[in-house]
């Protein structure tokens, strides 16, 4: 294991690399086509008269929440009638299923958006739910790698990865440009809604435009929602929605948060859970515990949904189950 040299990864709990091999360098996502994500959906039982239309959504360089709102606008429906199983990357080409309540298949033809396509798959009695997927398949192109001994370094890293790696939640879970989602989520869970709103609107990061940084910094310092509305860039629709609410009701920070889509609020809380997972995983490595072998007190999750706790009596059986792929160690 090698400790991360990057302060941001340290802050987000991602404190260890499985390999001590020097990195290959290179650049990710020079263009969206370099990062292709295909969702592996759970099977659903297709029916003729189900209230939910199931569609395959393919998008390029679209943030999912904004894509859903634009699709809903073209269809003339509330975006709350659209559901999905997983949030995909923005700077990428992504394919996934979405469910739309109460829509005829022919209505999909009304959606004419650049870099977005919809294909009707069938109908279902039930909507898609967050987390209801088998996984994702990735096709990633890394450009401009350091050519020196590249095959040897890739071989070493691949060998280490084959034995297991710390499977941290990555930067995108917390925000690539502004890694604040876990901070907002923690404030929500603590009931400090003012801190949540001020962080979401007012915490600036250096990768943002100068205009955005100045507007955020001013709001963080003054709490002046009216000034924020005048200064925040128009594309910051969520920040502006919260600021607009605060203009009407200056002390209603909980109400300001409720202007955000429910799924986004859920993702903010999930981001804090992800942060706790990262910290727990790093703590396990700190204490010298293995990642692929059980220790007494570990919780095991079996493929059939059953759970168990490792004890001195069952630790050998637990190791055998893990090696045979029947269960996994849970954090």
Domains of the chain: 33-136 (3.30.70.3160), 174-264 (1.10.1510.30), 292-331 (no CATH)
pLDDT of residue 160: 86
pLDDT of residue 218: 96
What is the arithmetic mean of pLDDT over 259-276? 94
d(CA 126, CA 140): 33
Compute the mean pLDDT over every residue in the chain, rounded to the nearest whole number. Answer: 93
Res. 331: pLDDT tops 80: no
d(CA 71, CA 189): 31
pLDDT tens digits, residue range 100-140?
999 999 999 999 999 999 999 999 999 999 889 999 999 99
pLDDT of residue 22: 81
Q: Model's pTM, two decimal places?
A: 0.77
DSSP string, 231-242: HS-TT-HHHHHH
Coil, helix or strand for 249? Answer: coil
Residues designated catalytic: 89
Cα of 167 vs its chain's centroid, Å? 14
Res. 70: pLDDT tops 90: yes
């Amino acid at each position: 294991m090698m400790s991360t040299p990057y302060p941001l990864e340290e802050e987000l709990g991602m404190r260890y690399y499985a390999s001590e091999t020097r990195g290959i360098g290179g650049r990710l996502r020079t263009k969206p086509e370099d990062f292709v994500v295909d969702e592996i959906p759970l099977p659903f039982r297709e029916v003729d008269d189900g209230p939910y239309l199931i569609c395959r959504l393919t998008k390029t360089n679209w943030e999912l929440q904004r894509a859903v709102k634009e699709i809903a606008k073209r269809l003339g429906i509330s975006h709350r009638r659209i559901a999905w199983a997983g949030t995909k990357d923005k700077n990428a080409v992504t394919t996934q299923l979405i469910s739309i309540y109460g829509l005829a298949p022919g209505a999909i033809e009304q959606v004419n958006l650049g870099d977005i396509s919809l294909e009707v798959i069938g109908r279902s009695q039930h909507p898609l739910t967050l987390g209801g997927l088998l996984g994702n398949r990735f096709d990633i192109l890394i450009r401009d790698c350091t050519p020196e001994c590249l095959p040897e370094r890739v071989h070493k890293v691949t060998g280490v990865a084959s034995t297991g790696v710390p499977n941290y939640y990555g930067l995108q879970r917390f925000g690539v440009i502004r890694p604040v989602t876990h901070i907002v989520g923690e404030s929500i869970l603590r009931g400090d809604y003012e801190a949540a709103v001020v962080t979401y609107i007012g915490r600036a990061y250096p990768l943002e435009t100068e205009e955005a940084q100045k507007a955020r910094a001013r709001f963080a310092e003054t709490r002046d929602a009216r000034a924020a509305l005048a200064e925040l860039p128009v594309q910051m629709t969520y920040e502006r929605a919260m600021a607009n609410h605060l203009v009407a009701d200056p002390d209603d920070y909980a109400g300001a948060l409720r202007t955000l889509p429910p799924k986004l609020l859920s993702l903010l809380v999930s981001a804090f859970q992800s942060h706790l997972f990262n910290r727990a995983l790093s703590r396990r490595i700190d204490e010298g515990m293995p990642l692929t072998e059980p220790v007494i007190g570990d919780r095991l999750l079996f493929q059939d949904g059953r759970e168990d706790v490792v004890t001195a009596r069952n630790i050998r059986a637990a190791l055998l189950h893990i090696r045979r792929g029947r269960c996994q160690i849970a954090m």
